[in-house]
Amino acid sequence: MGKKTNKKTDRETNVSTKISAEKTRTKVNGGVFIYTGAISTGELAKALNVSVGEIIKFLFLQGKMITINTVLDDELIGLICLEFGYDFQKKNIVAAENFEEVEINDDPSKLKPRPPVVTIMGHVDHGKTTLIDAIRNSNLVAGEVGGISQEIGAYQKEINGHKITFIDTPGHEAFTQMRSRGASVTDIVVLVVAADDGVMPQTVEAIDHAKSANVPIIVAINKMDKPGADPDRVKNELMQHDIIAEDFGGDVICVEISAKKKTNIDGLLETIILVSEMKELKANPDRYALGTVLEAKLDRNEGPKATLLIQNGTLKEGDFLVVGTSYGKARRMTNEFKKVLNVATPSTPVSIIGLAEVPEAGDRFMAFAEESEARSIALKRKQLKEAKEKSKTSAASLEDLFAMANAGDVQTINVIVKADSTGSAEAVKNSLEKLNNDHVKINVIRATSGAITESDVLLASASHAIIYGFNVRPDAKTRSKAAEEKVEIRLHNIIYALIEEIEAAMKGMLKKELVESVTGQAEIRKLFKVSKLGTIAGCMVTFGFIKGTNPVRVLRDGIVIFTGELAGLQREKDQVKEVREGFECGMLVKGFNDIKEGDIIEGYEMVESE
Ligand code: GDP
């Protein structure tokens, strides 16, 4: 990088570092007054080259009293500009280091069609890996023989002259991880469902993910070669999740395939092209590249090595890049066949070397014309990230979400509902959806029965959702995952209390109140029947502590089966006040004898909310 490079002007730049460096925020430009935010009467007068008195007089005659120091709002600025013969325009200037927030507005005439980016999802063993292999090895042309290098994490396939980009990691972990980092790379989800097995839990999870990301689904009904294959059953089951096949009157295309026998793989590829053409996916190849890191690692010989998905613009060898918080130069770019590329256009995955550090999957990158620009932006991003980490707060607390919604930052609040039965999940969902008002829409992205699991937390994290548990609890592992992902879980056992809480939050009135705080859990390991007393639960406290005077609840498979209090808490025959994590104890639940080995006794107390 030693040699000084001249500013390249072959492509449009993505952000201008110059704007933020400019001291003056306003300029009268051929009769157009461009401003970026609040401005005082005095400043506006100067910018428009009129006297302050004239402006004050003009507004006075309109019945508005202002002074030289009044900070003018957009409406007044507009009024004054028009009066004095200027057109006006407000520019939102985003600091260059926040490049994820930069809105790229491409001149429509420069937009060219780009290949769709596809992720394959579905239940375990339904054939995702087999399908990926079948696609990878289909229609290989001379030169590609030897196959696609596995290490790139994505590859392109061509069918009838159209390219498709496949993300190579099947399943929703990769998809979720990207989304939770704010990156959306997938244009189309191919949902693999085995024709002999039908819709299974991870099928539903994949549907939830695709829906909440607003990504269209193509269903690949796989294993059609098997004797038990029943595509109609699959379509019927999908219908229960609002995925309605075309021949059932809906708009979801289902393609019947056999990944193993490589039957109708071309049909699936053609469908992907069809759907992508309907979506009119376009990008501007004539700008500096921007996109997302699909994966990265440290190569012993070559240093940091990353697979980038170009989402807009063109990356050329030698371009300067900011990736995450570090920068570098695209020293060598290779495609999935390890072939060296000089340029990479939109939707192309490329492996590059030349970065100073190993980025993380999901990091966004942007290419810059000048090294100095890339270097200073990377530095600022690093500082910003460190500052943010220091002040990390919950990403989706109920209060924050509603505050943001009311400030116009979010219009939709995503909610996941888990309940003790399908009926109550539906009831909670319906009640929540009735609360929608002009500012806030409650969008229930999942409402099912069963315990709150890590998969709920991942979906919540990816969609910035809150999880509501109705008569169900998360286990300790899920709880810690939620804490790690900063996902808020709110638990209730009365529907109207849940609804009231959300209503209060919608009105911005979430006050301090008594909320439950779980002190600990104990697992029932053995039962002792004592004729006069009932059944004593021989327990091990698995986390926290259990206090004899606190309320408890009994959980079976994550579902609350009883709420009450303890009639006795003892250690080695002695009654004790409290038992801590790692100790065995005996518990007698007042008025409830129907306990079983494996049940969980959870202790909680009521504390004031923060
Ligand atoms: P994944 O867990 O979704 O990635 O599923 P795999 O691709 O590993 O496939 C699971 C099993 O199903 C393997 O034994 C495959 O050989 C088998 N399989 C996948 N596709 C087909 C198919 O089209 N027909 C039949 N008969 N078996 C298949």
Beta strands, E only, 300-398: 303-312, 315-316, 320-323, 326-334, 340-341, 343-344, 349-355, 364-368
- For tokens 């490329």, the residue is 350
Query: How far, in Å, from the CA of 229 to the mean position of ligand 1?
Result: 13
Query: Across-strand partners of 554?
Result: 562, 601
Give the highest mean pLDDT range of 176-180, 275-279, 511-515: 275-279
Query: How far, in Å, from the CA of 124 to the mean position of ligand 1?
Result: 9
What pLDDT sits at residue 24?
37
Write the DSSP string, 527-564.
EEEETTTEEEEEEEEEEEEEETTSEEEEEETTEEEEEE
State which amino acid sits at residue 114: R
Q: Is 128 exposed, middle or buried (0-12, 13-18, 19+ CB in 10 A)?
A: buried
Q: 142: pLDDT confidence band, cut at 50, 70 and 90?
A: very low
Q: What angle do CA 407, 411, 416 make, to 5 degrees?
A: 120
Q: How far apart are CA 173 and CA 171, in angstroms?
A: 6
Q: How far apart are CA 86 and CA 28, in angstroms?
A: 8
Give the mean model confidence (pLDDT) for residues 457-480: 86
Write the DSSP string, 142-164.
TT-TT---GGGSEEEEEETTEEE
What pLDDT sits at residue 295?
85
- Within 10 angstroms of residue 213's Cβ, the number of other Cβ atoms is 18
What pLDDT sits at residue 220?
98
Residues with CB under 6 A from ligand 1: 122, 124-130, 170, 222-223, 225-226, 258-260
481-528 confidence digits (pLDDT tens): 888 888 889 888 888 888 888 887 777 655 556 677 889 999 999 998
87-141 confidence digits (pLDDT tens): 887 765 556 677 777 777 888 899 999 999 999 999 989 999 899 888 887 655 5
Query: How far, in Å, from the CA of 584 to the mean position of ligand 1?
Result: 46
Residue whose CA lies nearest to ligand 1 atom number 6: 127
Tokens standing for residue 29: 């430009």
For the chain, what's the residue count? 610
Q: Which of 193-207, 214-228, 494-508 has the lowest mean pLDDT?
A: 494-508
Q: How far apart are CA 295 and CA 178, in angstroms?
A: 10
What pLDDT sits at residue 401?
67
Kindly give the interhelix angle for 201-212 and 172-180, rounded to the nearest 10 degrees: 30
CA distances from 241 to 204, 245, 441 (A): 7, 11, 21
Report how far Cα 596 is from the mean position of its chain's Cα atoms: 39
**Contacts of range 434-437, beta carbons closer than 8 Å, 24 or more positions apart:** 435/499, 435/502, 435/503, 435/506, 437/506
Higher pLDDT, 464 or 26: 464
The dihedral of CA 576, 580, 583, 586: what is its sign? Answer: positive
pLDDT at 264 > cutoff 60 = yes
Report how far Cα 36 is from the mean position of its chain's Cα atoms: 30
Query: How far, in Å, from the CA of 164 to the mean position of ligand 1?
Result: 22
CB 308 within 8 Å of CB 293: yes
CB 482 within 8 Å of CB 468: no
What pLDDT sits at residue 369?
84
pLDDT at 610 > cutoff 60 = no
Choose one of 135, 258, 260, 264 to mutate for the ligand 1 pocket test, by most ligand atoms within 8 angstroms of C-beta.
260
Choose one of 123, 125, 196 to mutate for the ligand 1 pocket test, by most ligand atoms within 8 angstroms of C-beta.
125
Phi, psi of 411 (to 5 degrees): -100, -20
Q: Is 584 exposed, middle or buried (0-12, 13-18, 19+ CB in 10 A)?
A: middle
Task: Characterise 32 by phi-psi region: left (phi > 0), alpha (psi -120 to 50), beta (else).
Answer: beta
What number of CA atoms fall less than 13 Å from residue 331's CA on the CB side? 12
Q: Is 456 exposed, middle or buried (0-12, 13-18, 19+ CB in 10 A)?
A: buried
CB 343 within 8 Å of CB 314: yes
The dihedral of CA 279, 257, 120, 345: what is its sign? Answer: negative
Q: How far apart are CA 69 and CA 62, in angstroms?
A: 18
Q: How far apart are CA 105 and CA 12, in angstroms?
A: 11
Phi, psi of 539 (to 5 degrees): -120, 165
In the chain, what percentage of residues exceed pLDDT 70? Answer: 85
Q: Which of 23-37, 59-73, 182-196 has the lowest mean pLDDT?
A: 23-37
Quick check: helix, strand or coil at residue 267? helix
- For tokens 């006069």, the residue is 532
- For tokens 């990356």, the residue is 315
Kindly give the interhelix angle for 454-463 and 201-212, rounded to the nearest 10 degrees: 10
Which atom of ligand 1 lies closest to the CA of 132? 7
CA distances from 5 to 9, 337, 370, 371 (A): 12, 31, 7, 8
Query: How far, in Å, from the CA of 57 to the mean position of ligand 1?
Result: 79
